[in-house]
A and B are shown apart, each in its own frame.
Chain A
């Protein structure tokens, strides 16, 4: 069965600090997809990234970077030089073709000025 674990419930950092949000997943399928979503105070889920199980290449997008490691079943998300606008709840999710999307419990990130 699919499972996504975000062990960090809340993280608080000071602006300009780097922060890493952890995500560990479980699946029996060899084909699967991993996602990160951002949920700002407005509530809408904002898509950040999707990776498929065959592509372990790490990705960088501006201040955001993602580290996908199949050996440890992890898909961690790092924000470099955090800003107050990064304050939000971040969800990691896993889906399989023809299956459901499972979300982690979310990590609430607070960036203080």
Chain B
């Protein structure tokens, strides 16, 4: 069966520091991968999605970036965090059709 992992589970970082969140999927090949952000009390915002290694599409311009160095690994990064980057970050995967997405446990990021 497929599983999706995210780490760290929680993170507290000062403004201006770098960020690296990791997501890995097991039990499937060639998944579509997604990064979402949920600000406090808000809905889900799609940040990035990837249909293959090295292929990244950005939905929202911001100081975040994503990379997919391996088929089942998706990384969310920032060179300098802003206060507004605080939130709950969810990684998800789907098969090639993208019909249904399966979510990881999330990372709660607090920028101080």
Contacts and interface: CB of A to CB of B under 8 A. Distances in A.
A64 interface: no
Interface residues of B, number: 20
B29 to A, nearest CB: 18
A43 B108 contact: yes
Interface residues of A, number: 21
Interface string B7-45: 000000000000000000000000000000000011110
Contact of A91 (B41, B44, B88, B102): B44
A54 interface: no
B87 to A, nearest CB: 11
A103 B98 contact: no
A100 B49 contact: yes
A62 interface: no
A95 B32 CA distance: 14
Interface in A34-68: 35, 37, 43-45, 47, 50
A99 B98 contact: yes
A43 B105 contact: yes
A103 B103 CA distance: 13
Nearest to A100: B46
B98 A97 contact: yes
Given A43-B105, A43-B106, A44-B105, A95 B43 contact: no
A37 B43 CA distance: 12
Contacts of A37: 103
Contacts of B106: 43-44
Interface string B45-82: 01001000000000000000000000000000000000
Given A99-B98, A103-B43, 12 more contacts: A35-B100, A43-B88, A43-B105, A43-B106, A44-B104, A91-B43, A96-B99, A97-B97, A101-B94, A103-B44, A104-B43, A106-B43
Interface of A: 33, 35, 37, 43-45, 47, 50, 91, 95-101, 103-106, 108
